[in-house]
Amino acid sequence: MIIKNNTIIDEVDFDIIPINPDWNKSDSKELRMHRIHWYPAKFPPFIVSKAINFAKEHYSLKINTIADIFCGCGTTALESKLSDLDFWGCDINPVATLIAKVKSKDYESAQLQEYFQEIKAKFFINDLETPKEYLENERINYWFDESQIKELYKLLTLIREEVTSQKYQDFFLCAFSNILRKISRWLIKSIKPQVDPNKPTYNVIEEFEKQFKIMLKAVFELEGYSCNKQIKIETKNFLEYKFKSPLVDMVVTSPPYVTSYEYADLHQLSTLWLNYVQDYRDLRQGTIGSLHHNRLSEEELDSLNSIGQKICHEMIKRDKAKIKSIAKYFFDINKSIQHTYNMLHNNGMAIFLIGNTRYRDVYIDNAKYLTQCMLDAKFEEIHIFKRLIGSKILTRFRDAKGRFSASSNSRKVYNYEYVVIGVKK
């Protein structure tokens, strides 16, 4: 489907758009580097290459730089690197940008193994005193027992002391980060932070070695490939970023969904151990889609387009407590679209991957709202494709109250999603 700037979006039924098989699956196997760290709701890497091909085939777009304004764990960053393109990305979550930076860097496998052997050897001979701020931290003690805290502190200290190169240190910090959920009391299959009282005890250094070997295989897979392009990833709130001039030729991104996962909560173990903030809950503020991010003025609420206001008015009847966070989500998405338009060169292209859902029996048409925002921002020739959602790390089911559920007997809310492509003329 192609939407023109004179289209009345309210009259368009996105549900009848047929599934486009070209956007459903990849023509090649996914790289191990994309799977080095757990991350919820990652979008498929092949979306990036298909977007690049679409831009070249249909618009003869010359692409030098790609951006991802919600870069998450760096899917677009790595795919841009493999396509020999410059990349700029940002994310408000420091755990996400750590993973993204690691995925998009080049490493010497011999150097990695040398660092690892040094860390492992000193782990068994060093006896470090664990500071009180770790042993007495309420949240750390909630998730780990004392012996685990001591071993994790020792491992983290050795990484920071022995790995002198920041690029390589980030690699090992990423490995450290990804073992925390498994080692802790965290119920692994839970879609929210939840203690597993029957969870077995895992050995810290053994799990770290397993994770290192997984990441080393990912490096081996890319060995021989070297990228001379500029890859820049920043830990920033895109809504607060100041662009002085158009920067990029293409944006490929997947915004968080309204009432989506609480990324700050899901990554709290890494945030706690890597000292990104004193309280992981601070990262909720400013996060688009967070139920805790709900500061919205009446003027901002009134500025929503007709689709956003219609959804909000329906939500008021069901759940007044959530209306501000949902309205704030719509306001922030609109602002993100405007910023995206401004950061594109003329004839540049923006590709958004987004799905619809229900909350309290209210149908939340994220795709239609986003498309209207793109028209309002002066994007032209908006192409809309529907694709089936493949396997996601977290559940696609909701219970009767609209909460995420692990039960397949619950309502499935993410059967498909939309690829929405706009051109800046």
Asked whether the predicted pLDDT for residue 412 surpasses 80, the reply is no
Beta carbons within 8 Å of 124's beta carbon, 6+ residues apart: 205
Angle 192-255-290 from CA coordinates, rounded to 5°? 40
* Dist. CA 147–CA 196, nearest whole Å: 18
Residue 17 sits in the same domain as residue 80 = yes
pLDDT of residue 191: 73
pLDDT of residue 394: 46
Question: 278 lies in a domain?
Answer: no
Instruction: Please state the φ and ψ torsions of residue 377, each to the nearest 5 degrees.
Output: -80, 0
Question: 101 lies in a domain?
Answer: no
* Dist. CA 120–CA 204, nearest whole Å: 11
Domain count, the chain: 2
Q: What is the mean pLDDT of the chain?
A: 88
* pLDDT greater at residue 265 or residue 69: 69
Report residue 392's pLDDT band, with 50, 70 and 90 as the boundaries: very low
| Mean pLDDT across 24-51 | 92
* Dist. CA 177–CA 98, nearest whole Å: 10
- 185-to-140, 189, 190, 208, 226 alpha-carbon distances in Å: 10, 12, 11, 17, 40
* Dist. CA 98–CA 107, nearest whole Å: 15
Residue 215 sits in the same domain as residue 240 = no
Question: 327 lies in a domain?
Answer: yes
Question: 281 lies in a domain?
Answer: no
Dump strand ranges (E) for 236-343: 248-253
* Dist. CA 161–CA 347, nearest whole Å: 48
Residue 304 amino acid letter: L
Residue 51 sits in the same domain as residue 189 = no
Question: 372 lies in a domain?
Answer: yes
* Dist. CA 412–CA 388, nearest whole Å: 13
* Dist. CA 54–CA 2, nearest whole Å: 14
Q: What is the CATH number of the domain that holds 12?
A: 3.40.50.150
Does residue 255 sit in helix, strand or coil?
Answer: coil
| Mean pLDDT across 30-42 | 93
Asked whether the predicted pLDDT for residue 405 surpasses 90, the reply is no
Residue 300 sits in the same domain as residue 363 = yes
* pLDDT greater at residue 422 or residue 226: 422
Asked whether the predicted pLDDT for residue 227 surpasses 90, the reply is no
* Dist. CA 65–CA 86, nearest whole Å: 4
Residue 187 amino acid letter: L
Question: 274 lies in a domain?
Answer: no
Q: What are the pLDDT digits (tens) for 116-157?
A: 999 999 999 988 999 999 999 999 999 999 999 999 999 999
pLDDT of residue 294: 62
* Dist. CA 188–CA 369, nearest whole Å: 34
Residue 205 sits in the same domain as residue 240 = no
Asked whether the predicted pLDDT for residue 401 surpasses 60, the reply is no
- Cβ contact 389:311 at 8 Å: no
Residue 72 sits in the same domain as residue 139 = no
pLDDT of residue 198: 94
Residue 87 sits in the same domain as residue 158 = no
* Dist. CA 394–CA 405, nearest whole Å: 10
Q: What are the pLDDT digits (tens) for 322-340?
A: 777 888 889 999 999 999 9
In which residue are the tokens 């619809």 written?
A: 356
pLDDT of residue 255: 92
pLDDT of residue 393: 42
Report residue 159's pLDDT band, with 50, 70 and 90 as the boundaries: very high
Report residue 291's pLDDT band, with 50, 70 and 90 as the boundaries: low
Report residue 407's pLDDT band, with 50, 70 and 90 as the boundaries: low
Sort strands 404-405 and 411-412 into parallel, antiparallel or unpaired. Answer: unpaired
Residue 134 sits in the same domain as residue 82 = no
| Mean pLDDT across 291-306 | 73
Q: Record the pTM.
A: 0.91
What residue numbers bound the domain in which 350 lies? Answer: 2-92+228-261+289-423
Report residue 226's pLDDT band, with 50, 70 and 90 as the boundaries: confident
| Mean pLDDT across 9-38 | 91
